[in-house]
Amino acid sequence: MDNVTEKLIQDACDEACSGTAADISSVKAKLVDDSDASEIADLFKTLGDPTRVKMIHALSQSELCVHDLTQVLDMGQSAVSHQLRFLRNNRIVKRRKVGKTVFYSLDDSHVEQIFVQTLEHLKHH
């Protein structure tokens, strides 16, 4: 038996399984709706880029301007600006303008919590 077949067998209920004692109707009633599920998936897609992950980590440590981020990430200004615009459009970061300088920070504490908890989860293994 190959590994794929073994995995399928391990992840399936026994033919005689009649379910658990869980209240399926209650679980189903509380299940996230399609719209929220789509938004959550989009958030994880947004976070699913290593450059953006590094950018979020840098901004979790300090508010930074575009120039600061180019130095921290060893990237060009146009690439940094492109990623910041993407993150801003997805409500991950916010900006604050002082004169001609634009400072970026995480949009809210939830973004930082998601990042920190994900990092802790990865280090847990």
Q: What is the DSSP string of 61-122?
A: H--EEHHHHHHHHT--HHHHHHHHHHHHHTTSEEEEEETTEEEEEESSHHHHHHHHHHHHHH
pTM surpassing 0.85?
Answer: no
- Condensed to tens digits (0 to 9), the pLDDT of residues 36-71 reads 999 999 999 999 999 999 999 999 999 999 999 999
Structure confidence by residue, pLDDT tens digits, 67-111: 999 999 999 999 999 999 999 999 999 999 999 999 999 999 998
Q: pLDDT (tens digit, 9 = 90+) per residue, 2-17?
A: 666 666 556 666 676 7
